[in-house]
Amino acid sequence: MLPLASEYLSAALPTLAEYLAAGIASQSVAIRGIEEMCNWACWSRKKQPIQEWMRSVLDRRANIGYARRSIPLPPALIFDSDVGLLRVVHRKLTDPTSELWMESRLTSDLRLLYGIRNTVVHRGERILSRRMAAYLGRMGLEVLFAVMEARMAKTLPRRLTRQRN
């Protein structure tokens, strides 16, 4: 089960980046919607790949870099040089040996999930809190489904894997 962690990360990291980019774009629209100025450069799936956009906006010298797009001040949560989520994802995508906390956290979670499963199955007792159990269950499902989807995308024709609307 543990090798799933790295497989999940390689499948999910681009979607993590896209999620953040989409969040920034919708935030930008909402800011303009209340008639405030906003000059952030937003990602468009049709215009450029996510990695290219990330490289541009995180580059201090780039014209569309967030160091230069400061109306309003870009959220530190996303762009801070140390803890900014987009920088973390970018670092991980460009260098898989960095940000090892991701593998570590996933592995720990999967071990805990396996542990509480064994306790429930073999002793019929619940341990940890309900919230922790819900968190682990959700994390497990997310890992499983993401890995299944990634494997299917590699092996099956697109028409069989596309989402139903």
Partner 1 sequence: MSRRRDRLVGFTYDETTGIARFSMYVPGTAGHDRKRATVQADSYDEAVRLWSAFRSRAADGLTRPSPEAPTLRDFITDFFPSIEANVAAKTARDYRYAIDRHLLPQLGALRLTDITSGVLNQLSARLKAKGYAGATVNNYVNVAALLLGYAVEFDVIEELPLKKKVRRQKANEPCLELSVDERARFVAAFDDEEGFRRYLAEKMPKAKPAVAKDARRLGARRAYGAGMRNDSDAARDYFNRFQRSKDLFLVALETGIRSGDLRHLVRRNIDFTEGWIRFVQQKTDREVVIPISRECRLALERALGDREAGPDEPVFVTENGVPYSVSTMQRHFKVAKRIAGIKRRLRSLRQRLRLPEPLAYWVDYWLFLHAAETHSIWRVRPLGLRLIAKTALVDVPNTNAQLLRQLADEAIAAARITPFLPGIPVAPSSAPVQGSRWHPEWMRWFETLLRPDTSSILLHDFAVALAEALETHDYTQASFITRRLAAELVEHEWSDRALFRIVKTNFCDANTMEVFSRAAFASLLVDAFSEPRGTKYRAAIELAPALVWPRFERILEKPRRLRVEVVDGGKTMLRGLTLEVTASHYDEAAAIALDELRDVLERLRLFHNVRTHAIGAIEVTRIDDSRIFTVDLPQPFWTAGSGRRRDVPHVPYYQLVRSHRLTPSEKTRWQAAQWHVSHSLAILGRGYARRRFPHLAGSGKLRRERSARDQ
Give residues 5-24 in contact with partner 1 (rule: CB under 8 A): 9, 12, 15-16, 18-19, 22-23
Nearer of residues 63 and 163 to partner 1, judged by Cβ: 163
Q: Which stretch binds partner 1 (CB under 8 A): 50-58, 60-68, 120-128?
A: 120-128
Q: Which stretch binds partner 1 (CB under 8 A): 52-60, 61-69, 134-142?
A: 134-142
Amino acid identity at 122: H
Binding mask 68-97 for partner 1 (x = CB under 8 A): ----xx-xxx--x-xx-x------------
Q: Is the dihedral of CA 90, 96, 97, 100 positive or negative?
A: positive
87, exposed or middle or buried, with CB in 10 Å at 0-12, 13-18, 19+? Answer: middle
Q: Does residue 42 bind partner 1 (CB under 8 A)?
A: no
Token pair of 127, please? Answer: 């341990």
Q: Does residue 146 bind partner 1 (CB under 8 A)?
A: yes
Amino acid identity at 48: Q
CA–CA distances in Å: residue 118 to residues 106, 113, 121, 142: 18, 9, 5, 20
Give the separation between CA 100 and CA 17, rounded to whole angstroms. Answer: 17
Give residues 47-66 in contact with partner 1 (rule: CB under 8 A): none
Q: Does residue 46 bind partner 1 (CB under 8 A)?
A: no
Q: Cα Rg for the chain, rounded, in angstroms?
A: 19
Those residues whose C-beta lies under 8 Å from the C-beta of residue 144, and which sit 6 or more positions away, are 4
The contact set with partner 1 (CB under 8 A) reads: 9, 12, 15-16, 18-19, 22-23, 26-27, 30-34, 36, 72-73, 75-77, 80, 82-83, 85, 102, 105-106, 108-109, 111-112, 114-116, 118-119, 123, 125, 127-132, 134-135, 137-139, 141-143, 145-146, 148-149, 152, 156, 159-164
